[in-house]
Structures are given as structure tokens and as C-alpha cells.
């Protein structure tokens, strides 16, 4: 009896255990989707399809930036089975030491997830190693593209792309980027990253235990296509850009040219410059280190970040403010009293046009004094402070003292001194006109960037307004100008006051300080020289200009560091640039020779 009971208990136990196993298997294989996912993960390889980055064209449709095919060799450490490490290294083109270092880095990232082992293998190198990769389980190739350049110009404006940093990954709230992805770092590539980058796709493949592809998973039902980034049309005339960079060879400085009516940037030169191809490809790190160590600072974006005193080009603004405030008229004359401030050239008692033409320092010393000391307060210190703030508001309406809003990162705004600055330096009610009079001629505490100088030329060309300077004309296929770059920004000076300044600038080039270097046959050029004082070497050469006088098609600013008077290098380059743009060629080889072979080397 006891025996029979024990027999039933044992049978019941086996049946119960079998039931539990069957229930568990049913739950795992039918009810629980995790099991299926884990099983599939052993036979399905998820491959990211990277999109083509958007192309960049110049204003005339010339291709400037495109994509070249490259390949990343990826590794999954848990799957690596190398019988001959040395043979692998020879095929891939690395040393044993590099192999060990890269493998440790990959394991540190993840033992089971793929990570980049060798970056940016060229098409030629990949072709030679492709057939051998099947013998090296754990390694696979990911097709990518890299930036390539039709021209060796425009590097500072274009910027470059690089691998996304850990900091950027942390800041990416959209979770768009993954380790090893590329992102725009500077310039247009950075500013228009969202438009250029496109959207990733994914492809699911069946693979065997050795990682060899065995076909598409479920006939591609779950695959998604990558979406290419949008193409950009730049405002830059790449031929004019090439010419400008040629003229600036061996010099430090900048050339910024605009189309006045639209604010479209025609050239954007930061000299010295570099070949943008240097910051693309496997040698990116080495080349970047060399450029960063160069004492000439080719990576420094001078048109946006090089803050300098404006020099005598500010006299055009002083004249316009004086006319607007009614403290002078076009016929007002001041004696060129060189005992109060130094001047140059044989002149004595000019009216406003003549003062701009010969760049008379005492004239604008008097204009500035009238602006600051108008008898609003009996206290000279308070009166000066009130006048300075009113003057400052006028100057800032010309786009100075703040970033203009160009579609590039890291734009500096320069500085227009406020009363608070002088209070900090000298103390409250401890400074007056005689303390700060150097502002009258564009020296002192004033700071502008070259982009603002070019914008000033555009303002005068437009007789009182500007459209925010920009480098991108349109995005995508519609070709429509960007809405944010259509608004006219007006100065505080009425249009009627600009004609006398325009006429004076024409005389500057025709017979004044602009001299013959910017003068062109059959084209009325308006310009203003500037010689910016430099305590640590030769003065800087500055010239702003626009042409033609009555229907301006181009406005520009040329800033050549340590090149002396504005009528030298800067005026010469300006004249050649205007001639090249409006005529399509230059017929002054002697001027080109003067600029290319002159003693303007930094």
C-alpha cells in the first residue's frame, strides 16, 4: 500500500515538473517577445545607413563642397577570432602596437557593441583589403562619406566636420548622434548642421555565426532608407573668392565683399588661409595640430573675430551723425589746427566734403567735440556723458558695437565705448571730452570687426540701411532667399544726409587719399582710407569702398595688417576686386604686381 502510494507521488512529481517546464517554454516562446528578440539578435545584424551630407554650391551654381566615399572598419570585441594578428595588421595598415591600443579602447567602450576600429579608409585601400575581411570574424566595414572640396578656398567660412565629441553627445537631447558620427564643427558646416546632416536609415541583415551576410531579414520589411541632407546655395562668388585669396597671399588680414542691396557676401577672406582638404580625411588630427600651432593663426577667423580700431573710415559716420544732429552742415569749415591733434597733407580750412577727402583729423576732432559738449548740463563731466551716450546710440545704429547676426558662429560685436567704461577707468565725473577725443578719428577704445567695416560701406552705398550680411542664399530645391535676410535695418541718420558723404568718398578715390590705386576707368568708385595706429609695428592698412557710385553692385572692406597707409595695399586690393567683379577681368597688371610683390609680408 505504501509502495503504491510512493509510486503515484513520484509520477505526480514528474508530471508537475514537466508541466512547469511546458508552461515556462510556452511563456518564453509564445508570450514573451524578449526571447524572440534575443534569439534574433544572434542572427540579425543591424546596419546603419548614413545619409549623404548636403552639398554646397556658390552663387553661380558651381559645386564647392561634395562627398567622397570612405569606409570605417568596425569591431565587436566578443566576436573577434584572429588566428594571425600580424597578417591582419598588414592588410589593414596598422602596427601590432596600434592594434592592441585600438582593441583595448573598443573593449572599454563595449564588449558586445560595434565601435570604430580604423577610421576613414580610402576607396583604394578598401578595395585591396575587402576580400580578406571574411577571414577575420568580429570585424566589419561601414560605408561612410567624407567632405571633399572642388576649390582650395573659403576654408574659414565653410568650416569643417569632425567626430562628435562626448560633450556634444551629452548635450544632444534629441539623441540623434551616436559615437563615431560626424558633425559640423565650425563655419557653415556648423551653422547649418541640421539642414546638411540628413536622416539615418537602417538595414537588417541575416548573418551566420561568423558574421557572413546571408541575405536580407524578412525581405527588408523593417529596413528604412537614409534621407540625404539639403543642399545649400551660398552667396559667395567662388571665382572672386579665388582672386581675393590670391591677392592676400603672404599677408595677414581680411577681405569682405557684399552685394549692398541684399547683404549677400561675395567674398569672405581670412588671411593667412589654408586648404580645406587638410581638415578632411585620416590626417585631420595631425593637420589640425599643425594649423593650431602656426603662429600666423590660419584658424583664426579674422573677418568675424579680429577686433580693431576702425581708423579714419569712422569719419564718414562722424560726418553723418553731425549732419543728423544739426551741429554741422555740408558747408561748415574748421581750421586744420595741428596743435590740437596731428594731421597730414597740405590743407588748411576744409568744408565737410573736403575734410573727408583729405581725412582731416582736426575737422572731426571739432565735430566730435560739438557732439559731446552741447551745453545740456553746466557740469562739463555730465554734459560729456550725455553727449557720449547720444553719439553711441547713433554709431550702434550703423551695426557697430554688437554682432550683426551673420549666419556663422563666433561672431564678435566689437565695442562702442559707453559712459560706464570711462566711469570704471577714471571714476564718476572724472572724465570729459579731452580724455576721450581719440574716438573722433576712429582710435581710442572703439573696436570693430572687418565684417562691420564692409557693412558700413554697404550702408553708405544704400544711403542709410543694410540687410544683415549672410553666406547662404537658399536651402533645398526651392531656391528662395531666406526670409530672415530680407529685412532692411535703418540707421538713425536720414537718407538726405548721405549724398555729401558719397560725393566725398568719390573724390577720395578720384583725387584724395584713396589715390590712383582704387581708381578705375569707366567706373565711379567711392572709398575711404584708414590708417590704424599700431604700437607694436607698422600701422594697419584699411579701405572701404563701393561701386558704381549711383547703382552700387559691390561694397567691401579690406584690412591688411602691418601694411601701412590705407591708400597702399588695402586701396589697391579694393580697386582690383571691384574691377574683377564688375568687368570679369582686370586690365591693370602693374597694380596686381604691386599687390602681389609689394612689401606687405607679415
**Residue 515: predicted pLDDT:** 63
Element at 458 (helix H, strand E):
helix 450-461
Cα separations in angstroms, 585 against 152, 469, 554: 21, 25, 15
Mapped onto helix, strand or coil, the DSSP state of residue 540 is: strand
Tally of CB atoms within 10 A around 236 = 29
What secondary structure letter does DSSP report for 165?
P
The set of cell numbers assigned to 594 is 604691386
Mapped onto helix, strand or coil, the DSSP state of residue 220 is: helix
**Residue 248: predicted pLDDT:** 95
213-216 and 56-57 beta bridge pairing: unpaired
Regions in the chain scoring below 70 on pLDDT: 1-8, 24-43, 207-215, 512-515, 534-537, 563-566, 599-602
**Residue 240: predicted pLDDT:** 98
Closest CA to 404 of 256, 273, 519, 531: 256
Q: How confident is the model over 8-25, as pLDDT tens digits?
A: 677 777 777 777 777 766
- Please give the Cα distance from 365 to 339 (Å, whole number): 12
**Measured on CA atoms in the order 368, 373, 379, 383, is the torsion positive or negative?**
negative
Phi, psi angle pair for 145, to nearest 5°: -130, 155
- Please give the Cα distance from 102 to 14 (Å, whole number): 53
Mapped onto helix, strand or coil, the DSSP state of residue 40 is: helix
Mapped onto helix, strand or coil, the DSSP state of residue 260 is: coil
Cα separations in angstroms, 255 against 230, 292, 571, 578: 29, 22, 11, 12
472-475 and 232-234 beta bridge pairing: antiparallel
Instruction: Estimate the crossing angle of helix 450-461 against helix 498-510, to 10 degrees.
Output: 110
Q: Which CATH superfamily is domain 45-234 in?
A: Penicillin-binding protein 2a (Domain 2) (3.90.1310.10)
In terms of Cβ atoms closer than 10 Å to its own Cβ (0-12, 13-18, 19+), residue 246 is middle
Cell 601694411 found at: 563
**205 touches 217 (CB < 8 A):** yes
- Please give the Cα distance from 496 to 347 (Å, whole number): 28
**Residue 15: predicted pLDDT:** 78
pTM for the model stands at 0.86
What secondary structure letter does DSSP report for 407?
S
The 10 Å CB-count burial string (b at 16+, else e) for 116-155 is bbbbbbeeebbeebeeebeebbbbbebebbbbebebebbb
Tally of CB atoms within 10 A around 166 = 8
Closest CA to 56 of 41, 66, 68, 43: 66
Tally of CB atoms within 10 A around 496 = 11
- Please give the Cα distance from 532 to 540 (Å, whole number): 5
Domain 238-274+300-473+485-597 class, CATH top level: alpha beta
Tell me the HSE value of 184 on the side-chain side, using a 13 A CA sphere. 22
Instruction: Estimate the crossing angle of helix 361-372 against helix 380-396, to 10 degrees.
Output: 110
Closest CA to 553 of 146, 258, 168: 258
Cell 591733434 found at: 341
**Residue 543: predicted pLDDT:** 94
**Residue 532: predicted pLDDT:** 77
**137 touches 210 (CB < 8 A):** yes
Mapped onto helix, strand or coil, the DSSP state of residue 428 is: coil
What are the sequence ranges of the domains in the chain? Answer: 45-234, 238-274+300-473+485-597
Following CA atoms 397, 400, 405, 410 in sequence, which dihedral angle do they give, to the nearest 10 degrees? -160
The 10 Å CB-count burial string (b at 16+, else e) for 36-45 is eeeeeeeeeb
Amino acid at each position: 500500500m505504501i509502495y503504491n502510494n510512493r509510486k503515484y507521488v513520484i509520477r505526480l512529481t514528474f508530471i508537475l515538473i514537466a508541466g512547469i517546464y511546458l508552461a515556462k517554454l510556452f511563456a518564453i516562446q509564445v508570450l514573451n517577445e524578449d526571447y524572440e528578440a534575443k534569439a534574433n539578435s544572434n542572427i540579425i545584424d543591424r546596419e546603419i545607413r548614413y545619409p549623404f551630407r548636403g552639398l554646397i554650391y556658390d552663387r553661380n551654381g558651381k559645386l564647392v563642397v561634395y562627398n567622397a566615399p570612405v569606409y570605417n572598419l568596425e569591431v565587436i570585441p566578443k566576436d573577434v577570432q584572429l588566428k594571425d594578428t600580424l597578417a591582419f595588421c598588414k592588410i589593414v595598415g596598422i602596427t601590432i602596437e596600434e592594434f592592441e591600443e585600438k582593441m583595448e579602447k573598443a573593449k572599454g567602450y563595449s564588449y558586445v557593441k560595434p565601435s570604430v576600429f580604423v577610421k576613414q579608409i580610402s576607396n583604394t585601400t578598401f578595395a585591396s583589403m575587402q576580400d580578406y575581411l571574411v577571414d577575420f570574424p568580429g570585424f566589419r566595414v561601414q560605408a561612410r562619406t567624407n567632405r571633399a572640396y572642388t576649390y582650395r578656398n573659403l576654408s574659414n567660412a565653410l568650416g569643417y566636420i569632425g567626430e562628435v565629441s562626448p560633450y556634444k553627445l551629452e548635450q544632444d537631447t534629441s539623441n540623434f548622434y551616436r559615437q563615431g558620427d560626424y558633425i559640423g564643427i565650425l563655419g557653415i558646416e556648423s551653422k547649418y548642421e541640421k539642414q546638411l546632416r540628413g536622416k539615418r536609415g537602417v538595414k537588417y541583415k541575416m548573418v551566420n555565426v561568423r558574421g557572413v551576410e546571408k541575405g536580407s531579414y524578412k525581405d527588408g520589411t523593417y529596413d528604412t532608407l537614409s534621407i540625404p541632407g539639403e543642399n545649400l546655395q551660398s552667396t559667395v562668388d567662388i571665382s572672386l573668392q579665388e582672386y581675393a585669396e590670391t591677392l592676400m597671399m603672404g599677408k595677414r588680414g581680411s577681405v569682405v565683399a557684399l552685394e549692398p542691396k541684399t547683404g549677400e557676401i561675395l567674398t569672405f577672406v581670412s588671411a593667412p588661409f589654408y586648404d580645406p582638404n587638410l581638415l578632411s580625411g585620416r590626417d585631420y588630427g595631425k593637420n589640425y595640430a599643425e594649423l593650431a600651432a602656426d603662429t600666423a593663426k590660419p584658424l583664426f577667423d579674422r573677418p568675424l573675430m579680429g577686433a580693431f580700431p576702425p581708423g579714419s573710415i569712422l569719419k564718414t559716420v562722424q560726418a553723418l551723425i553731425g549732419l543728423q544732429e544739426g551741429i554741422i552742415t555740408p558747408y561748415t569749415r574748421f581750421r586744420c589746427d595741428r596743435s590740437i591733434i596731428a594731421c597730414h597733407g597740405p590743407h588748411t580750412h576744409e568744408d565737410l566734403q573736403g575734410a573727408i577727402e583729405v581725412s582731416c583729423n582736426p575737422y572731426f576732432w571739432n565735430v566730435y567735440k560739438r557732439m559731446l559738449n552741447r551745453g545740456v548740463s553746466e557740469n562739463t563731466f555730465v554734459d560729456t556723458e550725455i553727449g557720449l551716450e547720444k553719439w553711441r546710440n547713433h554709431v550702434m545704429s550703423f551695426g557697430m558695437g554688437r554682432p550683426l547676426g551673420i549666419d556663422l558662429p563666433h561672431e564678435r560685436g566689437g565695442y562702442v565705448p559707453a559712459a560706464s567704461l570711462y566711469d570704471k577707468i577714471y571714476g564718476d565725473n572724472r572724465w570729459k571730452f579731452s580724455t576721450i577725443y581719440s574716438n573722433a578719428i576712429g582710435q581710442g577704445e572703439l573696436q570693430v570687426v572687418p565684417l562691420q567695416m564692409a557693412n558700413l560701406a554697404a550702408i553708405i552705398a544704400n544711403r542709410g540701411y543694410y540687410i544683415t550680411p549672410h553666406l547662404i542664399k537658399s536651402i533645398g530645391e526651392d531656391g528662395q532667399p531666406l526670409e530672415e535676410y530680407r529685412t532692411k535695418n535703418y540707421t538713425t541718420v536720414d537718407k538726405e544726409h548721405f549724398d555729401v558723404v558719397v560725393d566725398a568718398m568719390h573724390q577720395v578715390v578720384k583725387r584724395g587719399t584713396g589715390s590712383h590705386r582704387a581708381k578705375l576707368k569707366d567706373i565711379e568708385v567711392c572709398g575711404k582710407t584708414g590708417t590704424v595706429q599700431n604700437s607694436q609695428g607698422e600701422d594697419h592698412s584699411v579701405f572701404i569702398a563701393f561701386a558704381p557710385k549711383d547703382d552700387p553692385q559691390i561694397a567691401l572692406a579690406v584690412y591688411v595688417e602691418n601694411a601701412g597707409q590705407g591708400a597702399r595695399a588695402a586701396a589697391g586690393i579694393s580697386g582690383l576686386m571691384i574691377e574683377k567683379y564688375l568687368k570679369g577681368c582686370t586690365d591693370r597688371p602693374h597694380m596686381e604686381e604691386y599687390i602681389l610683390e609689394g612689401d606687405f609680408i607679415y
